[in-house]
Amino acid sequence: MNGRWAADEPNEDTWRTAQLVLVRHGESWWNAEGRVQGQGGTGLSDRGHTQAADVADHLLATYPQPASVFSSDLERVTQTAQPYLDRAGRVAELDKRLREIDSGEWTGLLTSEVAVRFPEQIAAVRRGEDIPRGSGENFAAMRARVAEALRDIARRTVDGAEPAGQATAIVFTHGGPIRVATAEALQLPPGGHRLLDPPDNCSVTVLAVPVGQTGEVGQFRLSGYNADHLTRTEATKNSQDAVGEPHR
């Protein structure tokens, strides 16, 4: 008995569960410099490469036989995934829907520069308005595309699984997508991701997603958020930038 009341669950005789293991990328050079990355940015810093190797150890030990592996196509994420893929003998399927929020004209700027050059946008963000960042994308749009991607991944992950069975997908992505996916699992209202601490570099968040035999996807469930499994002694925490969001 897992502590959940059976009446709250889909029919376990027919539904299967996709376990989605969401891994945030390691520290990038732009992370270290305090620049807004969005869908631009650099590859991993030296620290980021160490983090990627460490989280690969955790994934290999904890999820030895995942059904599938997916990744954002941005460089800082593909570099994070590579140590795991090399050791597991796997190939990740790239999905652009797993990208970070598009920060538009903010991309590449120091957060202090964003505050100076876009004061009206910063004021709107601080009022809680979900505006397109730098005329790029807003969080509602990112939440919709990420939820769509994860539902598709859940369906594909359990394809061929037995009724009442479970299959695991490793998903390498970014802090923003992890926050909005968690907000979706908790059924938080629009903007509810702001209630969640930003995921740390190479932290692990786990969602359970029920999938029916005909492909219908149930409500995401949160199994664990922002867990730091790295072996380093110095914790790597994200600083907050001038607009209240992490340096993604």
Query: Is 201 known to sit in a ligand binding site?
Result: no
Helix (H, G, I), strand (E, B) or coil at 166: strand
What whole-number distance in Å separates Cα of residue 25 and Cα of residue 247?
A: 12
Query: Is 25 known to sit in a ligand binding site?
Result: yes
Query: Is 143 known to sit in a ligand binding site?
Result: no
Q: List for the chain the helix, strand, coil content (%; round to 5).
A: 40, 20, 40
Query: Is 97 known to sit in a ligand binding site?
Result: no
What whole-number distance in Å separates Cα of residue 82 and Cα of residue 76?
A: 10
Q: What are phi and psi of 247, to 5 degrees?
A: -75, 90
Query: Is 9 known to sit in a ligand binding site?
Result: no
* Set 25, 174, 193, 247: catalytic member: 25
Element (H, E) at 128: none
Active site residue 25: yes
What whole-number distance in Å separates Cα of residue 179 and Cα of residue 51?
A: 20
* Set 100, 137, 184, 245: catalytic member: 100
Q: What are phi and psi of 151, to 5 degrees?
A: -65, -40
Query: Is 76 known to sit in a ligand binding site?
Result: yes
What whole-number distance in Å separates Cα of residue 196 and Cα of residue 102?
A: 20
Query: Is 24 known to sit in a ligand binding site?
Result: yes
Query: Is 106 known to sit in a ligand binding site?
Result: no
Query: Is 49 known to sit in a ligand binding site?
Result: no
Helix (H, G, I), strand (E, B) or coil at 40: coil
What whole-number distance in Å separates Cα of residue 37 and Cα of residue 225?
A: 22
Contact yes or no for 168/17 (Cβ under 8 A) = no
Query: Is 2 known to sit in a ligand binding site?
Result: no
Query: Is 145 known to sit in a ligand binding site?
Result: no
108 C-beta neighbours (distance < 10 Å), count: 16
Which parts are annotated binding residues for substrate? 24-31, 76, 126-127
The residues annotated as belonging to the active site are 25, 100
Known binding-site positions: 24-31, 76, 126-127
